[in-house]
Structure 1
Amino acid sequence: MTALTPVLPETPQGGTPGKGPTTATRKSRRFANGKRGLEPWLYLAPAFIVLIALLGYPIFQLINVSLYDYRQAQVSGKAPLNFVGLENYQKLFADPQFWTVLGNTVVFATACVVFTLLVGSSLAVLATRLRPWVRSMLFVVSLGAWATPAVTGSAVWLFLFEPTLGLVNKTLVAIGLTQFEGYSWTYDKWSAFGLVASEVVWCSFPFVLVTVYAGIQAIPTEVIEAARIDGASMPRIARSIMLPMLRPIVIVVTIQSIIWNFKIFSQIYIMTNGGGIAGQNLVLNVYGYQQAFAASLYGLGSALGVIMTALLMVITLVYLRILKRTGEAL
């Protein structure tokens, strides 16, 4: 019989038989792991430097100014800076108009986001069923609305809804709605907000249209065909297959729309002549402009800017948490 040769345990690299890695080996591995962990940050370093230069310093200055009683006298150097700490924030939180304006902003932004998503998503689904040349015309017209500057779009919208010469009022009167003869859409608070919201939706829905349409086109046709073979109806396919696969895109366009509509300024300022009658159509951006530049209360306006930045950062963090919970890659 052949004698059995004892099998020795495999020698770890850099160690001895039967024992773990040596201290030098462990240090080498930790160094290699640390180097690999540091490598992505080195690639991101240029972007971080640019962000700090373009965003970090302005935000620091915004916070800094919000802590002072900073007016025209201080800007011109005729009076010294007066540090007031959180007094500007206390004034805002104690001002009933601030809470009214914040409520206006939330309601207005929510309505704009909802209708933008509905219009853009509906047209995206419609585009998948149109002939190529009709679909191309739809995209050209939509992108034309998207490319129109906010000031130009606001002026055109105001002309369309002008009380005496506007096409909208003339059309409504022509079909028998005589109560709209000479009707001012900017006089009442909510009709003015509706007018501005319609212009915002008009110039914003193309982004949702293009993005959602691209997401629909990226869905594998084999998955939809398999569902049809299994007997699933189109509404069931849309609810159980298409919507879950489009969820990351819908989340992205929703968050971006919230941020854009929360910061609306030009449309409100132009179409309501600076915020409407007695400030009834003020939103945070216009309110901050009035405080900072019209009233020369730069410290108070900066405090408003800090509050808006904080709110938008909270929205962004909520977006990241939603992505993390749904398992999407960040």
Structure 2
Amino acid sequence: MTTPPAVDVLVVGSLNHDVVARTQRRPAPGETVTGGRLSTTSGGKGGNQAAAAARAGAVTAMLGAVGGDDGGRAQLDDLVARGVDVSRVAVVAGVPTSTAVIVVDAAGENAIVVCAGANETVTPQIVHAAPAAAAVVLAQTELGAAVVDAAAELAAREGARLVVSCGPVVELSPPTLAAADPVVVNRHEAADLLRLAGAPVATDPTAFAASLLAATGARSVCVTLGADGHVTADGAGPLRVAGAAVEAVVDTTGAGDAFVGALAAALARGASVVDAARAGAAAGAGAVAHAGARPPR
């Protein structure tokens, strides 16, 4: 088998077929809301972040799995059109492409339920066997702790920088957390990580990031705060950056993934984690101005 060429960013992550319902407001428990508009598109944190990294100029490859169905074919076509190498994406016959059901309200805020399909076929063994000549290995926890731990081992073997997008929060091994540079979380995920570590949850975002750095033992952390910006913390201490002005919020679904993908691309070019986070924030601000998890091609 021919070994794929080296890349800037190798994304080890999830690929989902997104089913999006747009309503005036998200339903309360037990409530039915009518009047929504339904659409389908390609998504998944892994695919979204790979698309964002490629959009930011990084030579990007995706490692994951889709089903042998229309959703899987659409996913591969979309990534290829965005310049992402999909030679490491398995097409699994007889298994549906993983699906995310997303409700987006009139303010652009979302709630998401992910139904795992082909994503569950990505195992640590598959990750270990992958060709991985890359400057950055980017992994998301949607595929579970064991796969992220395998991605960390792959990054260490190849001398690549490890970036971990920790949503949802899972219990990663101490070596994985210690190698992460950075761990990227939103404020809710940061609180969950601190609770998992048995550490107090601070209210001030700067203290939040400093506590998270100490609790995880990571080399650096980025805590995204939505419209309020982000906080980056490393050995030099925490730095809070205000959010960029956004004219109108259409959909927040892909903002976090745009942040992470652009950050990984900047790190692959040699940027500091602080400067990379600034690049990520600019991408995230741009992402809320369009509908869907990925920008129009």
> Higher helix proportion, which one?
1
Higher Rg of the two aligned structures = 1
Q: Report TM bin, short chain.
A: under 0.3
> Higher strand proportion, which one?
2
- State the structure with bigger RCO (CA 8 A, min sep 6), 1 or 2: 1
TM-score (norm 1): 0.24
